Homo-oligomer: A and B are copies of this chain.
Amino acid sequence: MKIQEGSYVLLFHTSRKKWLTKVAAGKKMHTHLGIIDIGSTIDMEYGSVIRTTEDKVIFLIEPTIHDFVMKSERKTQIVYPKDLGFIAARTGLKNGSRVLEIGTGSGAAATYFASIVKPDGHIYSFDVNPDFMEIAKRNLEKAGMLQYVTLHQHDPHQGVDVREADVALVDLGDPWTVLDQVHEALKGSGAFVAICPTMNQIEKTATELKKKGFVDIESVELLIRNMEAREGMTRPSMRMIGHTTYLVFARKVQRKVEAPVEEENEEDEEG
């Protein structure tokens, strides 16, 4: 595919030296590696190479949703790809899904989910903070996902005007305060997930979920380790992020039925 005026391109030198930018005729970027002539990339194929004024190699990469998320403008902690990917896989998010999001933040999750559910699915996202809404809007627009996301600047505690959602994602400091609203918005057996950085949050969220008509309650943490894969000296990286967040999953069921107690050491009996 050819790069065009108005396309986004990831200017990639190494994994630590890369820039996401919009292409325009005549545009130049000044970096420590020399000046990059961005305008010159018009009509080049993605995957090609240019050089800076200091003869440093720059690969022209077509940005993916992952690149847009990692380079998004943000005022809050974003949800990281390792967590976004598992949320999608664990909830069964798929093409056509309808998603309720409480806590838009900078829009990283909405961007990623929209890229999967579009064009027929949709993201309904609520946040009370108008500044976050503006940032999210810009990030969604940049990634080409704005049309698949409806942003509501509205306090979700007062009810959310969404029904039959397949998935509900809650990214609030106190996810347990919106469980009634979420239960009402989800379809039968729809999937719930909460972003909970602390153990106090998972404890309260899991405890309240049991009382509010949810089962299959599962709290997890994902850790990602980078590996240095080099001939004859392969090992894990010295650098590692220690923690991003816990995730709490559940599924909506009819209320007032007591769920059986989960025993950690129970034997599996599956089919």
Binding site for B on A (CB under 8 A): 1, 12-21, 29, 31-32, 45-49, 56-57, 59-67, 71, 81-82, 84-92, 94-95, 112, 115-119, 187-191, 197-200, 202-203, 205-207, 215-244, 246, 248, 251-254, 257-264, 266-271
Contacts and interface: CB of A to CB of B under 8 A. Distances in A.
Contact of A64 (B31, B91, B268): B91
Given A95-B116, A220-B225, 12 more contacts: A15-B216, A16-B269, A18-B270, A49-B254, A60-B189, A62-B188, A63-B92, A200-B233, A203-B234, A223-B223, A226-B242, A235-B246
A66 B166 CA distance: 13
A81 B86 contact: yes
Given A89-B84, A243-B236, A269-B16, A48 B253 contact: yes
A227 B235 contact: no
Q: Which of A18, A234, A239, A270 has the most CB of B within 10 A?
A: A234
Nearest to A70: B270
A89 to B, nearest CB: 3
Given A207-B229, A220-B224, A270 B67 contact: no
Nearest to A64: B92
Contact of A118 (B95, B234, B235): B95
